[in-house]
């Protein structure tokens, strides 16, 4: 039996983060939560993560800052990053930092499909 894929959800909105955790756990993912990008980087040092699902706007360190930090660090460069936002027009031009952008609100099936696609793609190329 294979190990479940580990997803790190980075979002300061507790209710949404918990709902996402429940949806992804039910779909067979191993889920960890962080309330900002700074905590996410700490978690990345401590455990194996297969994909980061991050909100765009958060205090301390937002999604774009987290993505930039991950892409400039050899240890995390290959981890897929999915950015969640309710303001797609505000997504920074540095889209090369993200593997996908999910516009809120999104359906659970779209979320799960996006995560599986990018985790599978990483497994094939990594």
* 55 Cβ neighbours under 8 A, 6+ residues apart: 10, 11, 12, 13, 16, 62, 63, 83, 84, 85
60 neighbors 19 (Cβ within 8 angstroms): no
Question: Rounded to two decimals, what is the model's pTM?
Answer: 0.93
- The pLDDT tens digits of the residues spanning 57-96 come to 999 999 999 999 999 999 999 999 999 999 877 776 655 6
Where along the chain do its domains lie?
6-125
* Coil/strand/helix, residue 81: strand
CATH of domain 6-125: 3.40.50.2300
């Amino acid at each position: 039996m294979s190990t479940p894929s580990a997803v790190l959800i980075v979002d300061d909105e507790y209710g949404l983060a918990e709902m996402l955790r429940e949806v992804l756990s039910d779909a067979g993912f191993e889920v960890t939560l962080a309330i900002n990008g700074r905590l996410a980087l700490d978690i990345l040092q401590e455990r194996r993560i297969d994909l980061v699902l991050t909100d765009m706007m958060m205090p301390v360190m937002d999604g774009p800052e987290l993505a930039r930090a991950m892409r400039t660090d050899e240890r995390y460069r290959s981890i897929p990053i999915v950015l969640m936002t309710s303001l797609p027009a505000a997504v920074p031009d540095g889209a090369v930092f993200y593997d996908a952008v999910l516009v809120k609100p999104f359906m659970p099936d779209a979320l799960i499909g996006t995560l599986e696609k990018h985790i599978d793609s990483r497994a094939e190329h990594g």
